[in-house]
Structure 1
Amino acid sequence: MTDRLPGFNTLAIHAGAAPDKSTGARATPIYQTASFVFDDVDHAASLFGLQAFGNIYSRITNPTNAVLEERIAALEGGTAAVAVASGHAAEFLTMNALMQPGDEFIAADKLYGGSINQFNHAYRNFGWNVVWAKTDDPSSFERAITPRTKAIFCESIANPGGVITDIAALSAIAKRHNIPLVVDNTMATPYLIRPFEHGADIVVHSATKFLGGHGNSIGGLVVDGGTFNWAGDNRYPALSQPRPEYAGMVLSENFGNFAFAIAIRVLGLRDLGPALAPFNAFLILNGIETLPLRMQRHCDNALAIATHLSGHAAVDWVSYPGLESDPYHALARRYAPLGSGAVFTVGLKGGYAAGVKLVSNLQLFSHLANIGDTRSLVIHPASTTHRQLTDPQKISAGAGPEVVRLSIGLEDPADLIEDLDAALSA
């Protein structure tokens, strides 16, 4: 092939993968092993000292996982990636590399409820403090910056409401203050939005969702954009200061534009251990091969369903940026011209009680706590995913009492509309 970068569809199938050299297997094998044999003592020493790349123990690296890492790095346009046990693990290891006790990070207020809970409560055990800013008001992020601020965090498309974040505006603020911008790209996937192209420095994923796409495996990914200069920045000692466990090595000096990914691997996975099982990596890899086809069908179906519900007598409002009437439609056209994703919310006129009844009456939609499946899914966030939040926090996150979240699958849209109409009128 020429030096031209392959297209997205080709990368989704081929990036990181090749026929197995020893067996000729075309599909990526599942290397279901805990550890790997060294060539000799010197080889082992070089691996443990980070003088050579290779496999030591599947908690740190695994050949199946490595294909997944190379593939998502290629699709996102990053320099390197690390596969981990879940989306929460991806967020946790990212903050572990950036934060020290007493530090702060600024987070957009429109986020997945599990992330809000993690930031508000679990992170306090490590002395990491979240400061909330208004997703719709980029200036609120700048006003929240202090000398202890170590990162800005947002979702490209916010869960549950499908809100589009102005990544470029947040990036401009982050760059003015020399702070890395971390973007959770789970809802969009790189098929719809590539955050690095809009100024992000780090991308995280719950690969459980649209990347895997079939609701059969848990996984997470951290992607290094290679855009942030860690060298000499004493605010980030994990990357800029000598590491005593590696004979004084400075990761930013040794590994350059993929130093952050190395830090996630050798300071995070090595010591904290949320490793991705190779079998899960295999399943997610197979899902990514059809990502472009699935995401386009997800988006087309979602637009059809959102359009129908926006005119339904039992529905007060629909939050989906694909609708021309939606306040985020202009941002959707700018950032996600191929589609606005598959997840959106509706507000029911009957409030909390109507939301509970709807999820109970649907037949084709599955009532469960997930998104990004081939099957259509439904949940009432106020009573489930956002239950731990206060009422003001629920409303701020787009999960008020009347809200129902839909994750539109790949079924025939006419069948989904029939199921919704029957449940709404029951």
Structure 2
Amino acid sequence: MSVLSGKKILLGVSGGIAAYKTATLVRLFIKAGADVQVVMTPASKDFVTPLTLSTLSKNPVHSTFYKEEDENGLWNNHVELGLWADLMLIAPATANTLSKMVNGNCDNLLIATYLSAKCPVYFAPAMDLDMYKHPSTLAGFQTLKQFGNTIIPAESGELASGLSGEGRMAEPENIIAFIEKDLENQLPLKGKNILITAGPTYEAIDPVRFIGNHSTGKMGFDIAESAAKSGANVILVSGPTALEVKNSNIKLVRVTSASQMFEACHQFYKEVDVAICAAAVADYKPKYTANQKIKKSDNSFTIELEKTKDILASLGEIKQNQFLIGFALETENEIENAKLKIQKKNLDLIVLNSLQDQGAGFATATNKVTIIDSQFVVEPMPLKSKEAVADDIINKVILHYEKNS
């Protein structure tokens, strides 16, 4: 999944021959999962039509402050456009448009929107060789960088004049790659390795039957997705579940039993910065597993159980610099029992579920949790979607590293 997925992107198109490339650029943004709106200068419409870009972006294209044919005089609100965007890209950025950006010469909708934008702004210059190297252009690049804008350098190649050299607007694929890499490098968990467990475990009685629970794994998978979107490299160890991962930054390791999950967690634990144990691991397993299906005979049937290895406690025992988060599902004395688990298992944070809360627990789209840290600061959360709860948990991880940076 691209880091651009879900982003609101404002594309500013100025009047240069490279404007023809913006059709491909819009298509690539949409393919990456972004929502795109386009603002054009009047001159740019000589090179690419608003109809083309509106069709590809699935949004109206804006090029004037108001529509002359509209007797109601409704205007295109440049302030709203600037506030709407998560990022703005001006491509092609011609010498004329760059000069207006530098000096605040606000004579068209594109520049008015640029001056109103609160989001990061990228610009991809496009002009002939000598124009690109002119001192005024180079000084403009430096000024725009000082304003906080990011340049996507021009490439070398054949130019509209027939010359060959630097000044050609970067190819759409390269622009997308540049922005993705730049955004990824700014993510708060970039470079962090996170181990997450999810789902139930199945403890075999015989080749057909098992002891399990109602966990679907959704909470753990949502935490993994949130961590990956924040830039982390995620190892997701999951018990049996129908869920699949969407983000390429998530490595999925499937297991079945508690012992398999124990081995997988210990295999990766030493190389991770954070471990979040969200799986509903069986506390007990059959002491003996039959090799063949047990036939129905007597009216009663007894299974001798033995404890499984406590994965969370075992990780707490060998914890070095890892930030360790556990989950607790309680039905009585919830806060007291959760605090005891923090101490016994050497946790930095615990996420408490209560089956007393409607909309929380297994097989629901929502969850209601209380987060307790190692200082016993208790933070009750309202009922939220599991995706929102996952973001709350990952924000605690981000805050931990911000405090210790």
Name which structure has the greater RCO, CA cutoff 8 Å, separation 6+.
1
TM-score by length of 1: 0.23
Higher helix residue share? 1
Higher strand residue share? 2
Bigger Rg over Cα: 2
